[in-house]
Structure 1
Amino acid sequence: MGYDVIVVGLGGMGSAAARHLAGRGLRVLGCERFSPAHDRGSSHGGSRITRQAYFEDPAYVPLLQRSADLWDRTAAESGRELVRWTGGIWAGRPDGPTVGGSLASARRWGLEHEVLDAAALRRRFPALRPADGEVAVVESRAGALHPEHSVRAHLELAAAAGADLRFGVTVHGWTASASGVRVRTGAGVFEADRLVVAPGAWAGSLLGLPVRAERYVQFWFEPADPSTFDGHPVWIWEGAGGRQVYGFPTDVDGLVKVAFFRGGRPCEPEGVDRTVHPSEIDEVAGFAGRYVPGAVHRFVRAKTCLYECTPDHDFVLGHHPAQENVVLACGFSGHGFKFVPVVGEIVADLVQHGRTAHPIDLFDPTRPGLTARPGEHVA
C-alpha cells in the first residue's frame, strides 16, 4: 500500500494528527513504539488541566479556544468522556506570573473571569487556604482532560477513517528529499510523500533538536473530606519561590491528584527512574499542604511521566527547516496536552496545504535557539 503521509509517534499529538489527516482522505501510516495509550511518555495519568486564561502568553488563547470546541466535538464523535468543565482557579501573589499572566490573557481576549481576594476565596472554596494578600483568577472555561481516553478516541477515529496504525514499531531513523520520505523501523522501511514527526520525549534524538526530556511525578492522595473536593475546580497555586503546584477534584477513586508544574529532573527517556521516592512524596505533600491542606491527607499512589522541554518552553510546530515535506510537532514542554485536537488540525493543514490559518508563529522551528539537523536522522 502506498501512503500519502507517515506519522511517527501516536501519543497525544500524533494520534490527533493521524485522526485529522485520515479524516481528510489521506492515506496514513502511523508508527508507535509502544502500545496504544501507553504510560511511557507524556500522555497518561488520568487527567490534564485545560484552561484559557493562559499565564504563559496571551498568544496561545485563540488556539485554546479552538481546542476547547474540538474537545467537545471529539467527545461527541467518539462517545468517550474526554473533558470535565470544572472551572479553574489560578492563585498566588497578585504580582506573580501565575495571577498576573492569567489576568493579562483574560483581559486581552475578553475571557469570562473574576478575581477573588483571600477572604473571598476562602468563603467560596473552603478547601483552599490562601494567605492574606494572595488572590486568585477564577475562570469557567477550564477543567480536567482525560489523556488516555483522548489518545484512544483519536486512534479509533483515525482507524475508522482508514488509517493504518501499527504499534510495537520502533522508528530508527528517517530521510527526506523532494521525491518523498523513507522511515526505517524495526518492522522494515516505509515510504510516503510526507512525514509528521511527533515523538514526544524522543524528539532530541530523532530530530537533533534541543528538546530535553524531564522526569516528573504525579501523586494521588486520599483527601481528609472527599466531599470538599467533589466537583471542585482544577487549580494551580504559585507558592513560595514562584514554584507552582497543581491539582484536580476527586476522580472516580475518590482521590485528589497533585503535582509540581516545573522543576523536573533532566533524564534520558530510555532510562528514566520510574521509582517514586519517599522524599518526593513528602516534598509535594508539604508544599501543597500549605495551600490545600485537606487534599493531601493520605498518600495512595504515584506515577512518573515525561516532559519534552524546549529552551523557551514554547512548542515546535511547523515545517522542518530543511525539508518542506516534513512537519514537526514536539517540544510541548509540559503544557501541551490541552492543545492536542487543534495541533492535529494544524498538522493536517500543514501537510495538506503547506500552511494553516491558525496563529503558530510563536512555535517556528527556525526561531533562535532551535536547530534541527538536516539529512539522516537516527534515533
Structure 2
Amino acid sequence: MTYDVIVIGLGGMGGATAYRLAQRGKRVPGLERFTPVHALGSSHGGSRITRQACFEDLAHVPLLLRAHEMWDQTERDSGERIFHRVGGIIVGGADSAAITGSRASAERWGLEHELLDAREIRHRFPALHPAADEIALYEEGVGLVVPENAVRAHLALAERAGAELHFEEQVTRWETGRVTTARATYEAEHVVVCPGAWAPELPGDLGIPFEVERAVQFYFTPGEDLRDHPVYLWDRTDGTNFYGFPEVDGAMKVAFHHGGQLCTPQTVDRTVHAHEVEAMSNATRAPMPAVAGTFQRAVTCLCTNTPDLHFVIARHPEHEGVTVACGFSGHGFKFVPVVGEILADLVTDGATRHPIALSDPARLRGGA
C-alpha cells in the first residue's frame, strides 16, 4: 500500500498532524498501537493548561498565539468544545523562574496581563493564600483545553479530510519510505513519527537522552465552590511547584509540576499510593486550603522530557524523509494544533514560517 505520508502515533500531536496533512490533499494513513483517545500516554486527564505568557522560553509565544487561533478554528470545524477561557494565574516570588519568565514573555510580545501583589491576589482570588512577598501574573484570555476532545476532534477532521486511521495496529519496524505493522506494510515518500513516551525507542541516534516521567493527576472535592476559579501554577520556594484547574463536575484537579518517578511505558506504576495523595494535600494545604478537601481519585500520565525541557520538532538527522516530534516535556499539549501545522509544513514544503529553532535537536548534540 503506497501513500504520500505515514503518521505514526495518533495522540495529540499525531492526530493534529494527520488532519493537517490530509487537509492539504496528502494520502495519509495514521497508525496507532492503542484505541482512539486512550489514557495510556500523554493526552488524557480531562484538562490541560494553555497560556500565552510562557516562562519556559519567550520564543514559544508566537506559537502559542497561533495555537489559540487554531483551537478556536478546530472547535468551529469539529463541533467539539475544547478551549475554555477561564483565565490563568501564575504565583511565586518576584524573582522566581515562573514569574520572571512569564513577565519577560508578556512584555516582549505585548501580551495583555496584570501583575498582582499578595493583597490583590487574596482580594481577587480568595482561594489563594500567598505569602506577603509573593506576586502573581494574571492573563484573562487563557485557560484550559480538554485533551480528549482535542484528540477526538482532530481524528474526526482527519478522517473527514480523507485520512485512513488504523487503531490497535502497532508499528513493528519503520525506515525511510516504509512502515511495517503486524497487519501490513505501508510505503510513502515521507514518515512522521509522534511517539510520545515511546520516544526513547526511536531507531537511529537523535543524540538526545529522553527521560519518561510518571506524573500523577489528583482530583479532590474542594472545600468551597471553585467552579469559576482560573487555572493556576504556583512556583514555590521549597520546590513543590504545583498547578491546577477550576472545579469541574464536583472535582478539582491538581498536580505537581515535574518531580515524578522515571519510568518507561512498560514499567510505569499505574497505582497511585496513599503517601502520594498525602504529599499533594500537604503541598496545597497552606497556599490553597480549599483544594485539600476530600480525595476522589487519581490517574497517571507520562511526560517525555529532554535535558533542557524544550521540544524536538525536526527532520530526523539519520533518516531522510522522516520527521519527528517528541520530548514535549510536560508543557506541550497547548501547542498541539500549531505542531500539526508545523509538521505538515516540514513535510510538504521542507520548512515552516513558524519559529522552531528552539526545537532543533542539534542544540543537544553540540550543534552537530
1-structure distance, mates of 2:159, 2:184 = 21
1-structure distance, mates of 2:117, 2:148 = 36
The equivalent residue for 1:88 is 88
1:255 aligned to which of 246, 251, 255: 251
1-structure distance, mates of 2:166, 2:149 = 18
Give the drift of 1:371. 10
> Which segment is superposed worse, 321-330 or 32-41?
321-330
Give the drift of 1:39. 0.3
Spell out the pairing of 1:17-28 with structure 2 (5 A cutoff).
17-28=17-28
User: Partner of 1:99: helix, strand, or coil?
Assistant: helix
Give the drift of 1:333. 0.6
Spell out the pairing of 1:207-246 with structure 2 (5 A cutoff).
207=203, 208=205, 209-226=208-225, 229-246=226-243
The equivalent residue for 1:105 is 105
How many residues align? The count is 365
The percent of aligned pairs where both chains have the same amino acid is 54
The equivalent residue for 1:377 is none
**Closer, same or farther: CA 4–244 of 1 in aligned 2, 3 Å:** same
Deviation string 1:139-195 (CA, Å, 9 cap, x unpaired) is: 11210110000000000000001100000011122111xxxx111212222111100
* 1:210 and 1:371 in contact (8 A); partners too: no
2:287 aligned to which of 291, 297, 300: 291
- Alignment of 1:51 onto 2:47: no
Give the drift of 1:267. 0.2
* 1:82 and 1:146 in contact (8 A); partners too: yes
Give the drift of 1:289. 1.7
* 2:31 and 2:167 in contact (8 A); partners too: yes
Deviation string 1:86-117 (CA, Å, 9 cap, x unpaired) is: 11100011110011111111111110011111
- Alignment of 1:159 onto 2:156: no
* 2:240 and 2:283 in contact (8 A); partners too: no
Spell out the pairing of 1:1-379 with structure 2 (5 A cutoff).
1-176=1-176, 181-207=177-203, 208=205, 209-226=208-225, 229-251=226-248, 253-369=249-365
**Aligned partner letter, 1:219:** F
1-structure distance, mates of 2:240, 2:274 = 20
**Aligned partner letter, 2:214:** R
Deviation string 1:288-333 (CA, Å, 9 cap, x unpaired) is: 1221110121100000000011111110001111233111111101
2-structure distance, mates of 1:331, 1:337 = 11
Give the drift of 1:211. 1.5
**Aligned partner letter, 1:220:** Y
2-structure distance, mates of 1:292, 1:245 = 11
2-structure distance, mates of 1:328, 1:152 = 22
The equivalent residue for 1:375 is none
2-structure distance, mates of 1:211, 1:120 = 41
**Closer, same or farther: CA 370–342 of 1 in aligned 2, 3 Å:** farther
**Aligned partner letter, 1:271:** T
Deviation string 1:215-238 (CA, Å, 9 cap, x unpaired) is: 010000000112xx1121100001
**Aligned partner letter, 1:245:** F
Tell me which stretches of 4 or more aligned residues in structure 1 moved more than 4 Å.
none
Q: RMSD value over aligned CA atoms?
A: 1.3
* 1:71 and 1:82 in contact (8 A); partners too: yes
Give the drift of 1:370. 8.2
Could you list the runs of 5+ residues in structure 2 that have no partner in the other structure? none
2-structure distance, mates of 1:136, 1:245 = 14
**Aligned partner letter, 2:129:** R
* 1:311 and 1:369 in contact (8 A); partners too: no
2-structure distance, mates of 1:243, 1:322 = 39
